[in-house]
């Protein structure tokens, strides 16, 4: 279990727990379960899914997806969490691109 604290783009700091629910090495897929008071109050389940998709030339693309089930119809979709994930992914992309550029100098 990992304790995750982040600030969503809507300005609210949230804390949740994260565990690895499953690993599918053959299909290069990892499912992370997020839970804790701030998630459990709104969602029955909340999963972040990471999939590596091999491309020609030895490179890969990464697909992140989110699966969730709301506790009631009054609960809004998790747009704040999705925006936070988007910012994190862009930061990782920028870091990897810079590292590759430095390695090729």
All structural domains of the chain, each given as residue ranges with its CATH number in brackets, are: 2-103 (3.30.530.20)
Residue 52 pLDDT: 92
pTM to 2 decimals? 0.74
Q: Does residue 80 have a pLDDT over 80?
A: no
The confidence score (pLDDT) of residue 47 equals 93
Q: How far apart are CA 37 and CA 58, in angstroms?
A: 41
pLDDT at 87: 75
Could you give the C-alpha distances from 37 to 5, 43, 69, 73, in angstroms and in order?
13, 10, 15, 19
**Residue spans of beta strands (DSSP E) within the chain:** 2-7, 13-24, 29-35, 43-54, 60-70
Binned at pLDDT 50, 70 and 90, residue 8 comes out as low
pLDDT for 12-67, tens place per residue? 777 778 889 999 999 999 999 988 878 899 999 999 999 999 988 888 888 889 99
CB-based contacts of 70, cutoff 8 Å, min separation 6: 42, 43, 44, 77
Give the 3-state secondary structure of residue 55.
coil
d(CA 68, CA 85): 14
Higher pLDDT, 95 or 46: 46
- Tell the burial category of 99 from Cβ atoms under 10 Å away from its Cβ (0-12, 13-18, 19+): exposed
Token pair 């994260």: residue? 18
Q: Quote the pLDDT of residue 39.
A: 87
Yes or no: say if 68 and 95 are a contact pair by the CB < 8 Å rule.
Answer: no
């Amino acid at each position: 279990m990992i304790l995750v604290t982040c600030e969503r783009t809507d300005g609210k700091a949230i804390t949740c727990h994260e565990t690895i629910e499953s690993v599918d090495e053959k299909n290069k897929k990892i499912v992370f379960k997020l839970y804790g008071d701030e998630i459990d109050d709104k969602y029955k389940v909340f999963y972040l899914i990471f999939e590596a998709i091999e491309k020609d030339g030895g490179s890969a693309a990464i697909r992140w997806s989110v699966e969730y089930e709301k506790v009631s119809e009054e609960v809004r979709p998790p747009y704040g969490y999705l925006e936070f994930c988007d910012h994190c992914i862009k930061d990782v992309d920028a870091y990897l691109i810079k590292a590759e550029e430095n390695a090729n100098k």
